[in-house]
Amino acid sequence: MVGEDSGPSGRTETFDDIADGLRRLREEAGAISYAEIARRIAERRLAAGVPEAAAQPARTTIYDAFARGRSRLSPQLVREIVLALEVSDEEADRWQERCRRARKIAPMAASAGDEAPPSADASSAVPLSAPTTASSSLSPAFRRRLTWQQLTVLMLVCLIGNLLGHGVVHWFGLPLYLDMVGTAVVSLVAGPWWGAAVAIASQGAAVGVNSAAAIPFVLVTIAGALIWGFGARRVRSLPQFFLLNVVAGCVCTAVAVPILVVLFDGLTGHSADSMTLNFMRAGENPLAAVLTSNLITSLADKVITGFIALTVIGSLRPWMPVPNMPIFDGASSDAEFLPASPARR
């Protein structure tokens, strides 16, 4: 029965049992998306007089309630979730009581080894809405879910991806860069400083192709990594993600143009130089020509790079979490986004 607080073997329920039950209830209700559950909870809270700013729960908070391996779970949130899944008030009260009892015995269950052993780093308690702070690019959700092995493999693969992107542009003479796709992936998944590390390593590896001329542009790739990494934490929709890539393109241009003008007289031998020369022939002064051509190229490059990275991240989600990016962290397979809230080259 719904109100029982014992598992199938007669033992006292744990949070994993509650999570399993919530998943079954969600499937019985028609596999309602987590975004829809969050919306319904917000509607109930608003109707109950909760201020609008506090009424909308994060979709990651909702998703986490359905996940196994929890060390904390709010009985009130569980009640709100099951009400959103269209159960009666009486049944919701039973769910709340089940969660409250499981909450009391969770430490005992963990020490007795009743449940399947948690992952190696599951000892980190994760709040219902995992905070991210500017003081650390490694959020509590990251420490709990993404292993160092996963991070290492991700960074190595993305470094190779940066070099491949650079090679594709060189081979085909494209007026783009595409050497920051891996940097964008790591920044969006793990945080800005990990992305910056990949950016530095990639530029170091590119020295073998471009000689020392590639070194000054490490500042451009670091700037892009920081914009993507920090900006991803505020992204709640595709339009916001598009805007984030536009900002990355503008910032990269702001960093790149002084380097291009001072160290390279505006021309580096890249295929985009033809655009710069065309602007000069049209009467623009060299600085304006470099700025205009670089901005056009950088905006196109960063938007394309960002959405390639988003596609890559979507394919990675079955194997690893995306703790730095709220629109992906713990998201279900549906591709919805929560309503937005007021956020080199």
Whether 259 maps to a domain, the answer reads yes
Q: Does one domain contain both 158 and 98?
A: no
Question: Distance between CA 195 and CA 180 in Å, rounded?
Answer: 10
Residue 88 burial (CB count, 10 A): 11
Residue 330 lies in a domain: no
Q: Domain range holding 182?
A: 140-316
Q: What is the pTM of this model?
A: 0.57
- Residue 3 falls within a domain, yes or no? no
Q: Give yes or no: residues 75 and 184 share one domain.
A: no
H helices present in the chain, as ranges: 15-28, 34-47, 52-55, 59-65, 75-84, 89-112, 140-145, 148-172, 181-190, 192-210, 218-231, 238-264, 273-281, 286-316
Domain final position from 63, 93, 112: 112
pLDDT given at position 105: 53
Q: Are residues 73 and 199 in the same domain?
A: no
Same domain, yes or no: 172 and 37: no
Establish if 5 belongs to a structural domain. no
Q: Are residues 108 and 144 in the same domain?
A: no
> Is residue 296 in some structural domain?
yes
Give the C-alpha separation, 138 to 271, whole Å.
Answer: 38
pLDDT for 104 equals 53
User: What is the spatial distance between Cα 55 and Cα 47, in angstroms, rounded to a whole number?
Assistant: 10
Ranges of residues in the chain whose predicted pLDDT is under 70: 1-11, 103-146, 209-211, 326-345
Regarding whether 211 and 273 lie in a shared domain, the answer is yes
Read off the CATH number of the domain in which 181 is found: 1.10.1760.20
Number of domains observed in the structure of the chain:
2
126 lies in some domain: no
Tell me if 260 sits within 8 A of 294, measured CB to CB.
yes
Q: Measure Cα distances from 252 to 24, 71, 219, 269 in Å.
A: 47, 42, 9, 19
Q: What is the DSSP string of 142-196?
A: HHHHS-HHHHHHHHHHHHHHHHHHHHHHHHHT-SS----HHHHHHHHHH-HHHHH
> Quick one: CA torsion of 208, 209, 214, 219, rounded to 10 degrees?
-80
Query: Same structural domain for residues 148 and 98?
Result: no
